Amino acid sequence: MAFYGRAAELGKLGEMYRSGAFEFAVIYGRRRVGKTTLIREFIKDKRTLFFTANESTAADNLLSLSRCIGGKNAAPVFGDYESAFSAVFESAAERTVFVIDEFPYLAESCRGVSSLLQIMIDRYRERSKLMLILCGSSMSFMENQVLGGKSPLYGRRTAQFKVRPFTFFESLPFLTAFSDADKAALYGMTGGVPEYLGKINARKSVRGNAVDAFFSTSGYFFEEPSNLLKQELREPSTYNVIIESIAGGASRLNEIATKSGLEGNKCAKYLNSLITLGLAVKEYPFGETGGKRSVYKLEDPMFRFWYRFVFPNISAAAAGLGGQVYDSEVKSRHSAFMGPVFEEICKQWLIAQAKKNNLPFFIGNIGRWWGANPATRNQEEIDIMAARENDALFAECTWKNAAVDTDVLHNLIRKSEMFGYKNVHLYIFAKGAFSNGLRVAAGKHGRARLIDLGEMIESV
């Protein structure tokens, strides 16, 4: 499969390699996100020792490391890890990349390995040309036990890379066979995870891909979320209930706790674990960094899709009724599911435009806003908001087949007036068309811009 994306990461890794000095990169991110693929793309033309740790014993991993260093036919079996690491550092008289993939497995089998690496780095870094890369999927371990202040390796790394799923626009090379709307729908099912995007069958429709992959017992995604939770977390059944409650519409802590049958404090701890894994996020209204108005949402669109549509219908899907489940459950509710997905795509587009200096002002922070209208006391929501000094941007994101009409612009103007910014810029994003009336009204406004999905794709 062709390699796509990760230009920034490859650029930085290349810069580190060319320095000629000792370098230590930490690469981490959730499973399936493409960490190992990124590393293999980087090292394909470089002198490299690539060691993948196993979920096994310290002795077994030491044997594998010995074979990695010496080759399978004439491998010296090192008596301990210190001897093995010393051999690697000593051999780096010329530029060498040393990769330890799945480092958390090695650290679990050999408890002192982080301290040992710290000793090696401190001993050799002034004269070594080694480029050390530690890679891992356990987010909490990599952030706390490798990058954290209490780690023996703290302060030794020269760069860190948290590898994230692709944005919608970075995902497009995987989706060339589909219409613009279908591209967005498939992004909503896969969440931009490279391995998931690679499972899309270009010869099948969105429905065909969904039925085969999600609603069939042999499908790749049929048990994927459950398997991921089992690999990463204890008590997966409790997390199932929490995630299902969020996917079903619960967003505040007390709502989630009530639906999950948990005490609030205990529920918050489970939610924090999901946040660490990159599966959930705690969100505040734009402009706020704390307070009681926080909400939780599932960060991963694939998890949202699976827990909204597959989990409640898993028995029917297992009985071979996947097509019927899709037609009766997904079709009628897919537009509602795509609403948050489309908002995220629009936010990604605005950030991409900001990088090109194509927005009226530097947007800095960007996010959703919700709260009470001070004049009417009615609850209001704004899909996307950004502000800086006297400038503010307000955006409405509409995912529907019908043409967007003037009422959307009038509502957005009304909402923007709650804040009193001097320079207001309005953006209306749509899946499809805009009415002629809206086009005329937007032109008269002067600072209202209408952008459809096709234009977004063409302009990034």
pLDDT tens digits for range 3-29: 889 999 999 999 999 999 999 999 999
**Average pLDDT, stretch 432-452?**
96
Is the domain of 364 the same as that of 381? Answer: yes
How does pLDDT run across 317-356, given as a tens digit for each residue? 999 999 999 999 999 999 999 999 999 999 999 999 999 9
Please give the share of the chain, as a percent, with pLDDT higher than 90.
89
Query: 3-state DSSP call for residue 100?
Result: strand
Does residue 97 sit within a domain?
yes
Answer with the one of 284, 309, 340 that is the final residue of a domain: 340
Does residue 311 sit within a domain?
yes
Is the domain of 217 the same as that of 74? Answer: no
**Average pLDDT, stretch 276-293?**
91
pLDDT grade for 232, boundaries at 50, 70 and 90: confident
Q: Are 307 and 298 in contact (CB under 8 A)?
A: yes
pLDDT grade for 93, boundaries at 50, 70 and 90: confident
Is the domain of 174 the same as that of 322? Answer: yes
pLDDT grade for 75, boundaries at 50, 70 and 90: low
Is the domain of 95 the same as that of 226? Answer: no
Which CATH number belongs to the domain containing residue 308 in this structure? 1.10.10.10
Is the domain of 215 the same as that of 285? Answer: yes
Is the domain of 135 the same as that of 267? Answer: no
In the structure, how many helices (H) and strands (E) does the chain have? 22, 12
Does residue 321 sit within a domain?
yes
Which CATH number belongs to the domain containing residue 440 in this structure? 3.40.1350.10
Angle at 459 between CA 456 and CA 460, to 5 degrees: 90
Contacts of 258 (CB under 8 A, 6+ apart): 250
Is the domain of 12 the same as that of 142? Answer: yes
Does residue 349 sit within a domain?
no
Torsion of CA 71, 77, 82, 84, to 10 degrees: -10
Flag whether pLDDT at 74 surpasses 60. no
Give the global pTM.
0.92
pLDDT value of residue 72:
61
Q: Which domain holds residue 143?
A: 7-162
Does residue 2 sit within a domain?
no
Total of domains in the chain? 3
Is the domain of 23 the same as that of 157? Answer: yes
The β-bridge relationship of strands 367-372 and 379-388 is antiparallel
pLDDT grade for 278, boundaries at 50, 70 and 90: confident
pLDDT grade for 73, boundaries at 50, 70 and 90: low
Structure tokens at 351: 């950030």
One-character DSSP codes across 385-416: EEEETTEEEEEEEE--SSPB-HHHHHHHHHHH
Is the domain of 323 the same as that of 401? Answer: no
Residues in the chain: 460
Instruction: Using the structure block, give the residue that is written with the tokens 């429905």.
Output: 207
Please give the share of the chain, as a percent, with pLDDT higher than 70.
99
Does residue 382 sit within a domain?
yes
